[in-house]
Chain A
Amino acid sequence: MNSYITLTKTFIASISMSAPQDKRRKIMILILSLFAVFGVLLPVAIAVGVLVKLMTETLLPIGCQALGIQLMFHIICLFTVIFGINVIFNEFYFSNDIEYLLPWPLRAYQIVASKFTAAFYSENIMQVILVLSCIIGYGIGSKMGILNWILSILGIITLPILPLTYCAILSMLLMAFTRVIRNKDRIQKISVALIFLMVIALVASIGFLQNMDIDTYIETLASGDQTFFKVMNIIFPNVPLFVKTFSEGNIVALLAYIVIHVVAVGIMLLLAEVLYFRGVIGLTSAGNKSHKKSLDKLLSQCKQKSPAYSYFLKEVRILVRTPVFFTNCIAINFLWPIFVYAMIKIMHYNITLDFLRSQYAERNLRIQLFFLLGIVGISVLVAALNSLSSNAISREGKHFSFMKYIPVPYETQWNVKAFVGILFPAVGVLIFFLPACIIIRVPVVHIILFTLLSLMSITFVSDMGIYIDSIQPKLIWDDEMSALRENYNTFFAMAIAIAFTAIVCVGGFFLFCNTHITIGFTALILVIILAIANLIVLYLTNRSGVRNLEEQEEA
């Protein structure tokens, strides 16, 4: 037990980011934290809570009031599995501390238990907020009693345990049977590819929600067809038991809830004893050795390049060759069409390319607005989601000193990193968007305008991300995944991007719909807003960005 506690404390300590020392940075971090909490987290939590309250009130007359919150919990559990599996894989098998742990006299279950707790801790913050807001929404909607409120506390923290246990068991089973592939990079690529496929399949299959608006949904429930719930209740039995516990004050359900968790964790630890060492020992990070060129051949290819270009090549090579960076920072730029498809399905739009072409030809202003606001929203969100810029300095980790001792101005290094942060999302967005515009026969002037808006949006997010990362970069990390997931800066940048998108796109929509401004004027307003946003970030960068780098004293 002592080993477990000590190990867990150590792992959790390595997750946290060091606090800035000087007052200026402390104030900046405080402002960003307050913005993230009050500007994004709280509004999202309130929206979720209100949604659950509405569902509860709607379902109350047919006696199914708990089904709304149950649906939300199932979704939370499903997303915990999707996002958790990558984290668990990295924590269990690819973090750099494993080679130090293996020679110690530790049992496999002790390592797995500690690493699981650390992963649970790092993944749990967002879930806690969502689960809490669901419960508040349900509690208000169903006028829950005091005992029920008390009983609900249990699940706020423990709900993600079961999904994460699934991730742990799945990762141990997979790793135990990949004895042929002992190369970390290859396994990481395969596992991430599988996760991507899972996400794509999930998002693509979201089409089934097309028929699930709240009225038809209630009718389905009222008719007794609860197939979805039956399946989900088998996969996540913790959800109905937890809901029953606090909604009905059912003590038997509470006991069953506890037993299920004890059994799941017990199975995980038992499997750890049998499988963990089998999977983790012998993993190598050595790369491919074949097709080596001779020294003469290599030297014949040497050619002097500018420091900036060479630095750019270094950035790109590291991003492309590191599996975690490749999937989370590069590949993700090219996945947005799948999510747009899912959004269109969820919103019940029956949009085809032919429809868009005919509407654009008929000068349907709503469709033009859809393109105008859509390109800004997509560009901002893609650029923020890839964490390329909000992780640009943190990514250096223990090599941060390299940035400081080479005779390359900080401004140049900054600009190269910003360019990398612009290049990949710009390619990812425009490679789909421009052909779509051509197929839809969007006028050339509009295409130029959309491209300009996209580049301005991406530039804003990229520069803003690096600026945020420069305030207090996370330079201590055990593996590349930690550099991304445990870096608050990526979260701050994403929060600002989401808020920006919401304000600009929703604001733009209402402004256009409720006033008599033309589509051209709306476009002009967007260009002005993005120009101002870029200028503000540029001002901040010139004022203190480079100074942040100069003053940053390693980790």
Chain B
Amino acid sequence: MLKINDINVYYGNIHALKGVSLDINQGEIVTLIGANGAGKSTLLKTISGLLKPKTGEIIFENVNVAGKLPQLIVKRGISQVPEGRRVFANMTVEENLELGAYLRKDKKEIREDFDKVYQLFPRLEERRKQLSGTLSGGEQQMLAMGRALMARPRLLLLDEPSMGLAPLLVKTIFRIIEEINKTGTTILLVEQNAHMALSIADRAYVIETGKIVADGSAAELSNSDQIRKAYLGGH
């Protein structure tokens, strides 16, 4: 579904992604784990068009989308839940969701998707008319995910959905990610919480200072000694 070939991304002089390649198949949950500053978010932003790679290609459903404008990429079916949620604080929950469907014109389907999102996150329905800035961190995360789903993506990019959330809430969020995946949405999940991420993912990539250093099935990686020491805490 998505195939990244040897992309290089720079921030000015800083070489942030050094020849990264990866594959995501239809229907999978793929996770990308790594330490702070390894380049996880950079990779997501490059896929969604917020950053442009200097070289390399990003093939999504047989079309190279590398360096395309974000709106074209969203239209093609990739949507992103940005790091730190970034909800539109002075807008209501409903208005946030409407903006998620900004590029769509199919009114009837948008209505249906509202219902779907509210089914997935009943909390959001309760707070439909509330300004999203007044929601708790977990609710904002749900809203950011719901908003991304309103674009009806075939590939959903999640950037650190567990950031700053209580353990119990993290569990809920991950359960919902699995649910979204079951409805047919492919997921690329970027996480620092490697344990949780590996527990729901099919496959995983490990990134370190801009390079992919390991990949394999999630089960394989969580059993590998090397990975365990470096990312899961040694025991």
A binds B: no
Chain B interfacial positions (CB closer than 8 Å to A):
none
